[in-house]
Amino acid sequence: MAVTGDRPRLETRDLRVRLGETDVLNGVDLEVGAGELLAVIGPNGAGKSTLLRSLDGLQLSHGGEVEVDGRPVSGYRRRELAQVISFVPQTDVAADGYTVRAFVEMGRYPHLAAWSALTAGDRRAVDEALELTETDHLAARFMTTLSGGERQRVWIAAALAQGGTILLLDEPTSFLDYRHQVQVLDLLNRLHCEVGYTVVAVTHDLNGLVADADTVLGLVDGRVEFSGPPEELFDAAILSRVFGNEFVLVAGGRHGLPLVMPARNGS
């Protein structure tokens, strides 16, 4: 498990977000320490993606604070923030007409001036990102020719090329088949445990990504319903409170945790 630094890298206090007439976040407090992996869970519409986007300053709040390395996120210029935080959205966008390398090079944007070419340092960052995500063999392929799992790893590579050490991911393993899910989970684990990235991931993957997390934040209706390590979360009563459904727990999950699955009528 990663060592948590003294000062949080990401912090929200009483964060409130309203979209139109709907209160999406109703006072969320969270802290993410350096090198920590935070999994954000909750039912659909609980405000998970909104929270993630608020952390990157992509969603304006109407109350409360978001701080990145102790400074309000609204005080950063976009370019400056992009050097600290990389965001991996749900990758349903195909990025037609770009090769994998060209797409990952776009991640270097916050380090480039207008009209300037990539420097040797930029190329090195791109190569490293491709290697780390094991996508270097795809570099010449067009984005549209990739499978879902390859595409997800390339999007992560582009985020790494950006050069920051905080990664935000929105459902990185959804819509992937099992082999690709495992590849992405292993990659995130490596980035978090070995390279030391601070990671916040929205996910529904309780037995995979959530089990690997240092801390789990359970959102329900824009409020924090649960905050704690996965071993506390994996409790039938807490899970049913977060998801509004009964859960079955059996032995045999990762890190000695139980496996959890939603109970169905008649099971």
Partner 1 sequence: MSRGVGIALLLAGAVVVLMTAPLIGPVSLPLAAIADPFGSDPSSRILWQVRVPRVVAAFLGGAGLAVGGAVFQAIFRNPLATPYILGVAAGASFGVAIVARIGIGVVILGLGLQSWSALAGALLAVAVVWVVTKLRPDAATSTLLLAGVSLNFFFSSLILFLQYTASFADAYRVLRWLMGGLGGVDASSVIQMAPFVLVGMLVIFGFGRELDLLATGSELASSRGVAVARTRTTLFIATSVMVGGVVAACGPVGFVGMMSPHICRLLLGSGHRLLLPMSAVFGGAFLVLCDVAARTIIAPAELPVGVITAFLGAPFFLWLLLRK
Binding residues vs partner 1 (CB under 8 A): 53, 56, 58, 77-83, 85-87, 89, 93, 95-99, 102-103, 106-107, 109-110, 112, 114-115, 142, 162
Nearer to partner 1 by C-beta: 112 or 248? 112
Output the DSSP codes for 30-93. EEEETT-EEEEE-STTSSHHHHHHHHTT-S--SEEEEEETTEEGGGS-HHHHHTTEEEE-----
Q: Give 163 or 218: the residue with its C-beta nearer to partner 1.
A: 163
CB 162 to partner 1: min, Å: 7
CB of 110 to partner 1, least distance (A): 3
Nearest to partner 1 of 67, 105 (CB atom): 105
Which two structure tokens, joined as six digits, stand for 116? 């300037």
Residue 194 to residue 191: CA distance in whole angstroms:
6
Nearer to partner 1, 21 or 96 (CB): 96
Q: What is the DSSP string of 3-37?
A: PPPSSEEEEEEEEEEEETTEEEEEEEEEEEETT-E
Q: Which is nearer to partner 1, 119 or 245 (CB)?
A: 119
Question: CB of 85: closest distance to partner 1 in angstroms?
Answer: 8
The conformation of residue 204, written as its DSSP 8-state character, comes to -
Smallest separation, CB 153 to partner 1 (Å): 17
B/e letters for 163-176, b = 16+ CB within 10 Å, e = fewer, are: bbbbbbbbbbbeeb
Radius of gyration of the chain measured on its C-alpha atoms: 19
> Minimum distance between the CB of residue 206 and partner 1, rounded to whole angstroms?
27
